[in-house]
């Protein structure tokens, strides 16, 4: 009998080996075909063209890689294909642009954000409070629900209905009336629903849980309402995207020369102290709501000095920023654009990281048992981010001036040879071709650094080890006593941070538009699919391939391809360039469903 069970295993092992060979044959031939095509393509170019073409390919590849790397880590580890990733890239670009060109607005926006986030440092406090809430009677819960609804209603009224005053009479106020009716109806319906829930609360575990979750949502509404209202009433430097759109070049020149004067702070809205308190309160309520939504049983960590230090530091920073913003702005606007650019990189990357962590914890985590819905929700998040950007920054496309260190002209420019990259010129001549130092030098350099950095992280650190193990079998990692969810959050945040970094880097070379995210997401997905969905080196290789392919086709679009059966050279139009990369993906996926470097699944 035992031999019976052994035999099929042996057969399947042989088959596996045969399959493996077969698969690798396909892989090797695809690689060979690609290499051949590239050589033929490069050989078809003039000698002064091929080096710039490759470097431009590397540049686009590096940007694509910054999006694709996070995407591949996230997909590998948690099986979530984050379709919001491109929009985080876009968000990075816009935030970076704002820090770079409008530091004053950045400072003003940072203060309320810091205040809302600060209470999150006191999580144990909120957890303890949430536990206490659980012991409250029904009447208290009901009171909180009603209060929550009321505050949201009031906040909405303050923001929308009262804001109608300066809109065009008639039409808008008619719409306002419609909205008021609907919101009021919703309010009544919700109150009735809550009342019924309250009536049916019989003290069983289920119903307490339900009451608790309703309370948490009410608290969330309360906190959110307070925070949003206070933010709209916070004294911000108002600056209109339209101003920029009217004369982008003028704007850019002013930025370069450092002559862009900070606008005077508008003194509308609430007194600063009131706004401060309301923001802190709103943040606290949100934190409390989120911690009472968590149903984990585990123990609450003690509230230590560390937590309070963090809290005080954040609030203190907010206050200091607020008080010193005039001189701070002056100082930053006096800095060279290069320094401001690095500041922009840091801020945007950090924000991308935070946004990623938030998305994972709040939106992705509740859906781990419904993978398709995870995919759908990332789509939704992307959609929201695009609309948010359009709301805040407007629809006109932006350009971003290159930082001074990569923008030199005049004496001794363009730089010569490889050393020319460090000459401070905007362009450099290498092997007879002309390159832009920023695009083909700096961007590629950062891309390479990130590749090396992440590879080292994955190979050399414990967290990297956990990630690699988690890609293969998250359940087993959890069984070893490692909190995999936390690793998920970290990886999602890290991937988002890298995407945002890509966005800032891209801004000076390709400009900003609300469509840039979709373009790069598509490129990154193609790269991922080509490289093998879960393979990190695969993502790098795929991104490189995508970049090179696109640039080569663009180059051929200029010179034309001499096809033997055509009289005139065939010139592919630039708009169809992305199509080529996608077709490459389709072909590669069909030939190799697990990509070039991916592990073949079954």
Partner 1 sequence: MTTLTPTPQSWLRRRRGLLAMVALLIAFPFLVSIIVDGQGLGAVIANDQGNARFLQGLAIEIFILAIYALSYDLILGVTGLLSFGHAMFFAVGAYTFGIMLKTHEMQWVAALVVVLIAAILQAFLFGVVLVRVKGIAFALVTLGLASVFWIVIQSSDLQQWAGAEIGLQGVRAPVWFLDTTNERFAFYLVTMTLMILCYVLYLRIIDSPSGKVFHAIRENEDRALMLGYNTFWFKLLVLVIASVTASLGGVLHTMHQPIVTPNIAGLGFTVTALLIILIGGVGTITGALVGAAVYRLLQFYLDRWFGAASELLIGLAYVVLVLYLPYGIVGTWRAKAAKRKEGWERLRTLLSPGERPTS
Partner 2 sequence: MSLLRLEEVHTFIEQFHILEGVSIDVPEGDIVALLGRNGAGKTTTLKTILGLTPARSGSVFYDGNNITGRRSFDIAAMGIGFVPEHRAIFSDLSVEENLLIAERERGDFAAKEDFIFGLFPDLKRLIRLPGTNLSGGQQQMLAVARALVPNNRLLLIDEPSEGLAPVLIEQMMEAIRRLSSESTVLLVEQNFIVASRLAQHFVIIEEGRSIMSGAMKDLVDDDETIKRYLGAGTGGAT
CA distance 571 to 556: 7
Decide if 341 contacts 403 (C-beta within 8 A): yes
* Number of other CB atoms surrounding residue 166 within 10 Å: 6
61 vs 531 by CB, closer to partner 2: 531
Taking CB within 5 to 8 Å according to partner kind, which of partner 2, partner 1, none is near residue 381?
Answer: partner 1
Number of residues that bind partner 2 (CB under 8 A): 26
**Span near partner 1 by CB under 8 A; candidates 122-130, 190-198, 323-331, 524-532:** 524-532
**Is residue 287 part of the contact set for partner 2 (CB under 8 A)?**
no
Q: To the nearest whole angstrom, how small is the minimum distance from the Cβ of residue 589 to partner 1?
A: 5
4 binds, among partner 1, partner 2, none (CB under 5 to 8 A by kind): partner 2
Which is nearer to partner 1, 1 or 590 (by Cβ)?
590
What does 482 bind: partner 1, partner 2, none (CB cut-off 5 to 8 Å by kind)? partner 2
Q: How far is the CB of 579 from partner 1 (least distance, A)?
A: 4
Q: Which of residues 462-481 bind partner 2 (CB under 8 A)?
A: 462, 465-466, 468-469, 471-473, 475-481
Nearer CB in complex with partner 1: 18/583: 583
Based on the shown chain and the rule CB under 8 A, indicate whether residue 388 belongs to the binding site for partner 2.
Answer: no
Site for partner 1 in 412-441 (CB under 8 A): none
CA separation for the pair 315, 320 (Å, rounded): 9
Rounded Cα distance, 290 and 220, in Å: 7
Query: Residue 506 in contact with residue 516, Cβ under 8 Å?
Result: yes
Tell me how crowded residue 285 is: count the other CB atoms within 10 A of its CB. 24
Closer to partner 1 by Cβ: residue 15 or 370: 370
CA angle, 430 as apex, 429 and 434 as ends, to 5°? 45
* 424 torsion bin: left (phi>0), alpha (psi -120 to 50), beta (else): left
Residue 301 Cβ, how far from partner 2 at the closest point, in Å? 13
114 and 318 Cβ atoms separated by less than 8 Å: yes
Interface with partner 1 (CB under 8 A), residue from 242, 369, 475, 567? 369
Report d(CA 521, CA 223) in Å as an integer: 34
CA distances from residue 68 to 89, 524, 544 in whole angstroms, order as listed: 11, 5, 11
Q: What backbone torsions phi and psi does residue 490 show, to the nearest 5 degrees?
A: -60, -45
| CB atoms closer than 10 angstroms to residue 82 | 29
Q: Which of 220, 281, 484, 581 binds partner 2 (CB under 8 A)?
A: 484
Q: 3-class secondary structure for 364-388?
A: HHHHCCCHHHHHHHHHHHHHHHHHH
Q: Does 383 bind partner 1 (CB under 8 A)?
A: yes
Among partner 2, partner 1, none, partner that 479 touches (CB below 5 to 8 angstroms by kind): partner 2
C-beta closer to partner 1: residue 544 or 581: 581
Residue pair 231/380 in contact (Cβ under 8 Å)? The answer is no
- DSSP 8-class letter at 170: T
Residue 185 is a binding residue for partner 1 (CB under 8 A): no
Residue 441 C-beta: closest distance to partner 1, Å: 30
Q: Exactly one of 9, 202, 391, 411 binds partner 1 (CB under 8 A); which one?
A: 391
User: Taking CB under 8 A as the criterion, which residues in 291-330 touch partner 2?
Assistant: 296-298
Beta partners for residue 586, in sequence order: none
Figure out which of the listed residues 525, 540, 546, 596 binds partner 1, where binding follows CB under 8 A: 525
Give the 3-state secondary structure of residue 152: helix
Apex 329 CA angle, 95 and 310, nearest 5: 70
**Which of residues 282 and 470 has its CB atom nearest to partner 2 in the complex?**
470
* Residue 341: both structure tokens together: 């650019």
Alpha helix segments (H runs only) across 294-434: 305-334, 337-359, 371-393
Q: Are 560 and 569 in contact (CB under 8 A)?
A: yes
Shorter beta-carbon distance to partner 1: residue 106 or 514:
514
- CB nearer to partner 2: give 209 or 571: 209
Q: Which does 383 bind (CB under 5 to 8 A by kind): partner 2, partner 1, none?
A: partner 1
**Segments of 133-232 assigned E as strands:** none
Q: Which residues bind partner 1 (CB under 8 A)?
A: 79, 81, 175-176, 178-179, 363, 366-367, 369-373, 375-377, 379-381, 383-384, 387-388, 390-391, 518, 522, 525-526, 529, 533, 573, 575-576, 578-579, 582-583, 585-586, 589-590, 593, 601-602
Interface residues toward partner 2, by CB under 8 A: 1-2, 4-5, 9, 296-298, 462, 465-466, 468-469, 471-473, 475-484
């Amino acid at each position: 009998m035992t031999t019976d069970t052994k035999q099929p295993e042996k057969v399947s092992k042989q088959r596996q080996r045969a399959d493996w060979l077969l698969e690798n044959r396909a892989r090797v031939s695809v690689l060979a075909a690609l290499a051949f095509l590239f050589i033929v393509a490069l050989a078809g170019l003039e000698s002064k063209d091929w080096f710039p073409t490759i470097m431009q390919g590397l540049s686009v590849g590096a940007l694509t890689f910054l999006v694709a790397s996070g995407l591949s880590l996230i997909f590998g580890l948690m099986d979530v294909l984050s379709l919001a990733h491109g929009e985080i890239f876009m968000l990075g670009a816009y935030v970076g642009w704002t820090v770079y060109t409008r530091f004053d607005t950045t400072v003003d926006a940072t203060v309320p954000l810091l205040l809302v986030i600060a209470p999150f440092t006191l999580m144990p406090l909120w957890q303890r409070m949430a536990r206490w809430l659980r012991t409250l009677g029904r009447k208290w819960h009901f009171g909180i629900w009603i209060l929550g609804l009321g505050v949201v209603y009031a906040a909405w009224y303050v923001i929308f209905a009262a804001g109608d005053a300066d809109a065009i009479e008639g039409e808008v106020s008619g719409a306002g009336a419609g909205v008021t009716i609907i919101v009021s109806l919703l309010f009544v319906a919700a109150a009735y629903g809550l009342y019924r829930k309250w009536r049916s609360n019989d003290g069983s575990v289920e119903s307490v849980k339900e009451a608790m979750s309703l309370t948490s949502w009410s608290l969330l509404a309360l906190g959110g309402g307070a925070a949003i209202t206070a933010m709209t009433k916070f004294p911000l430097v108002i600056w209109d995207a339209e101003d920029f759109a009217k004369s982008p070049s003028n704007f850019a020149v002013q930025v370069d020369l450092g002559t862009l004067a900070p606008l005077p702070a508008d003194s509308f809205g609430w007194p600063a102290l009131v706004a401060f308190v309301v923001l802190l309160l709103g943040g606290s309520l949100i934190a409390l709501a989120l911690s009472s939504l968590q149903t984990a049983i585990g123990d609450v960590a003690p509230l230590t000095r560390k937590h309070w230090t963090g809290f005080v530091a954040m609030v203190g920073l907010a206050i200091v920023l607020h008080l010193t913003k005039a001189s701070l702005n002056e100082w930053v606007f006096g800095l060279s654009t290069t320094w401001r650019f690095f500041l922009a990189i840091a801020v945007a990357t950090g924000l991308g990281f935070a946004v990623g962590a938030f998305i994972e914890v709040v939106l992705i985590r509740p859906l781990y048992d419904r993978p398709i819905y995870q995919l759908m929700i990332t789509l939704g998040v992307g959609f929201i981010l695009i609309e948010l950007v359009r709301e805040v920054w407007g629809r006109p496309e932006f350009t971003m001036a290159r930082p001074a260190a990569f923008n030199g002209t005049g004496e001794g420019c363009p730089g010569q040879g490889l050393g020319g990259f460090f000459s401070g010129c905007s362009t450099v001549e290498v092997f007879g071709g002309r390159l832009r130092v920023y695009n083909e030098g700096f961007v590629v350099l950062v891309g390479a650094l990130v590749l090396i950095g992440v590879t080292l992280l994955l190979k050399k650190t414990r967290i990297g080890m956990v990630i690699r193990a988690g890609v293969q079998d998250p359940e087993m990692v959890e069984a070893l006593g490692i909190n995999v969810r936390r690793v998920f959050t970290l990886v999602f945040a890290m991937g988002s941070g890298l995407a945002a970094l890509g966005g800032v880097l891209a801004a000076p070379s390709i400009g900003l538009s609300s469509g840039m995210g979709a373009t790069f997401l598509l490129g990154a997905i193609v790269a991922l699919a080509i490289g093998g969905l879960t393979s990190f080196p695969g993502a790098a290789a795929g991104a490189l391939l995508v970049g090179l392919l696109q640039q080569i086709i663009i180059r051929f679009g200029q010179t034309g391809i001499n096809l033997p059966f055509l009289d005139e050279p065939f010139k592919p139009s630039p708009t169809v360039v992305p199509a080529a990369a996608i077709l490459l993906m389709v072909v590669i996926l069909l030939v190799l469903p697990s990509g070039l470097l991916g592990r073949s699944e079954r």
